[in-house]
């Protein structure tokens, strides 16, 4: 049998991570950022796009791609609803979760 004890530890680690998050949520809200017009417009297009295909069985990589696309769409929603356009950029308040998703995708 494969040793699965590490997953018990990982579950405990996730519980601690969630406890840290519970303390951070009231301290951190949105952060004002500047985005170039081209990527802001692409984010808005992702928000406006209708995805009508059903989701079948996905590999881990396919799930991760779809999750990143959803994060981009949520940034597009933020740009649409509260972005302020200035020439070739937009200033928008993003949730730290959206910022973290973008930073993860950049790595």
DSSP β-bridge partners for residue 33: 92
Residue 15 CB neighbour total at 10 angstroms = 9
Query: Which tokens hold the place of 20?
Result: 């840290």
pLDDT-derived band at 88 (thresholds 50, 70, 90) equals: very high
User: Which pLDDT value is given to residue 55?
Assistant: 82
pLDDT tens, 13-46?
999 999 999 999 889 889 999 999 999 999 999 9
Size of the chain, expressed as the number of residues it contains: 107
User: What pLDDT score was predicted for residue 79?
Assistant: 98
- Which of the four pLDDT bands, split at 50, 70 and 90, describes residue 2? low
- Predicted TM-score (pTM) of this structure: 0.82
pLDDT of residue 1: 44
């Amino acid at each position: 049998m494969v040793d699965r004890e590490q997953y018990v530890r990982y579950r405990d680690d996730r519980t601690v991570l969630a406890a840290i998050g519970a303390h951070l949520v009231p301290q951190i809200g949105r952060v004002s950022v500047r985005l170039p017009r081209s990527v802001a417009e692409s984010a808005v297009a992702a928000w406006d796009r209708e995805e009508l295909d059903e989701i079948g069985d996905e590999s881990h990589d396919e799930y991760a791609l779809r999750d990143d696309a959803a994060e981009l769409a949520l940034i597009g929603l933020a740009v649409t609803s509260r972005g302020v356009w200035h020439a070739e950029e937009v200033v928008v308040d993003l949730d730290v979760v959206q910022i973290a998703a973008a930073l993860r995708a950049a790595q």
